[in-house]
């Protein structure tokens, strides 16, 4: 009887210790963001609510599984990380050549009854590849050979994603790479040279890669009065929704811009505007505050790490979340072009949710091992 009681208690004690080792400020921030997002989706697109709830549950299970699993020994083997990187490149190639065209892009790979946007997972893979590279090379990163090598690791998936086309994901990939450079003792002259190169690439893309509607979106940021019924229509409706919401909002399913269909993509690109219209500026403030808590806790975890690899992982994930938020919120306010970037844990999207939760799982794993 005594032996049987010990066997029953050991798993319970282990699970209790594991749960205590997690950063619960991080978890509660994510739960709040998810709750706000799902309430808004239930109001705007009730038919999509069950699917979002399903992916949120799967995502949380994934995050806890990754946090509990000790993946650090595998990260020490170069072949594991590079194997995953090349596998992701093959998947992106397969997606481009064989995936069906959805909304003018070959970006979604059908798997069973669902479609997954593989570029979302490529961002997580790139974070690990660059973390592995920079932890070994960051002291000598100023050498042109190392700079060029890190750029190639970013460039290969970026090109494959750009031709889908999915420029929002390319921007996030670039931000991750550039953020790693900024903390790696790069020389200012090399940084200036890199900036000049990207200005040149941007000019070439403007002339030969970007489509007319993409150029119009960029121009619309600098000329908000331009074509209010066309390219700037979404942003105009977003500003109306935010302004009409007031402090406490119009109420659940009472937002006129949202419910009457004036605000397009109210459950994805413009979900922050739909939240503010129906639940008020206070709901928008609380949502943004929860996101800042999320980012702040990841920064704290990264600073407390005992090795550079874990620090770079946390850095990459902070950039991953922050750029999504800045671009999404900026497009809602008309400060940045609308390029289809989601609000982490809030916007509708299964692939985005799963990628965000995978990132969360790795952060929680680092946090629990630090503790």
Residues 49, 310: Cα–Cα separation, whole Å: 35
CA distances from 256 to 266, 311, 333, 364 (A): 12, 45, 18, 40
Q: Is 173 buried (19+), middle (13-18) or exposed (0-12) by CB count in 10 A?
A: buried
229 pLDDT more than 60: no
Encode pLDDT of 218-228 as tens digits: 665 555 556 55
**Res 317: pLDDT:** 97
DSSP letter for each residue of 326-339: HHHHHHHTTSS---
135 pLDDT more than 70: yes
Task: Kindly state the DSSP code that residue 307 receives in the 8-state scheme.
Answer: S
124 pLDDT more than 50: yes
Encode pLDDT of 330-352 as tens digits: 989 888 888 889 999 999 999 99
Q: What is the mean pLDDT of residues 175-204?
A: 77
Residue 5: pLDDT band (50, 70, 90) is very low
Residue 203 CA neighbour count, 13 Å, CB half: 6
DSSP H helices in 99-232? 118-137, 144-162, 167-182, 188-208, 212-222
Question: What proportion of the chain, given as a percentage, has pLDDT over 90?
Answer: 49
Encode pLDDT of 245-291 as tens digits: 889 999 999 999 999 889 988 999 999 999 999 999 999 999 999 99
Q: Among 72-81, 179-188, 353-362, which stretch is predicted with the lowest mean pLDDT?
A: 72-81
**Res 230: pLDDT:** 58
Domain residue extents for the chain: 33-69+213-306+317-344+360-371, 77-210
Residue 111: pLDDT band (50, 70, 90) is confident
């Amino acid at each position: 009887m005594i032996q049987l009681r010990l066997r029953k208690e050991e798993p319970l004690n282990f699970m209790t210790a594991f749960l205590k080792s997690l950063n619960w400020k991080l978890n509660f921030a994510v739960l709040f963001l998810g709750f706000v997002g799902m309430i808004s989706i239930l109001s705007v697109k009730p038919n999509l609510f069950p699917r979002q709830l399903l992916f949120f549950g799967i995502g949380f299970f994934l995050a806890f599984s990754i946090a509990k699993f000790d993946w650090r020994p595998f990260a020490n083997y170069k072949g594991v990380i590079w194997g995953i990187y090349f596998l992701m490149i093959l998947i992106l190639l397969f997606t481009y050549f064989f995936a069906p065209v959805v909304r003018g892009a070959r970006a979604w790979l059908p798997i069973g009854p669902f479609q997954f946007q593989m570029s979302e997972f490529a961002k997580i893979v790139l974070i690990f590849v660059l973390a592995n590279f920079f932890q070994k090379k960051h002291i000598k990163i100023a050498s042109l050979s190392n700079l060029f090598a890190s750029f190639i690791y970013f460039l290969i998936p970026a090109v494959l994603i750009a031709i889908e086309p999915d420029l929002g994901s390319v921007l996030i990939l670039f931000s991750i790479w550039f953020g790693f450079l900024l903390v790696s003792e790069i020389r200012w002259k090399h940084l200036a040279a890199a900036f000049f190169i990207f200005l040149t690439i941007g000019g070439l893309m403007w002339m030969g890669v970007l489509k007319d509607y993409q150029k119009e979106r960029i121009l619309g940021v600098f000329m908000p009065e331009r074509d209010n019924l066309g390219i700037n229509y979404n942003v105009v409706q977003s500003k109306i929704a935010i302004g009409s919401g007031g402090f406490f909002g119009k109420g659940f399913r009472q937002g006129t811009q949202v419910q009457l269909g004036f605000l397009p993509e109210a459950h994805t690109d413009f979900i922050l505007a739909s939240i503010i219209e129906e639940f008020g500026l206070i709901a928008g403030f609380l949502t943004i505050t929860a996101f800042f808590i999320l980012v702040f806790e990841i920064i704290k975890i990264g600073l407390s790490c005992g090795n550079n690899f874990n620090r770079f992982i946390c850095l990459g994930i902070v950039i991953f979340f922050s750029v999504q938020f800045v671009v999404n919120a900026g497009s809602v306010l008309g400060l940045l072009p609308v390029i289809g970037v989601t609000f982490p844990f809030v916007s509708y999207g299964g692939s985005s949710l799963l990628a965000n939760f995978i990132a969360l799982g790795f952060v929680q794993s680092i946090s629990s091992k630090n503790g």
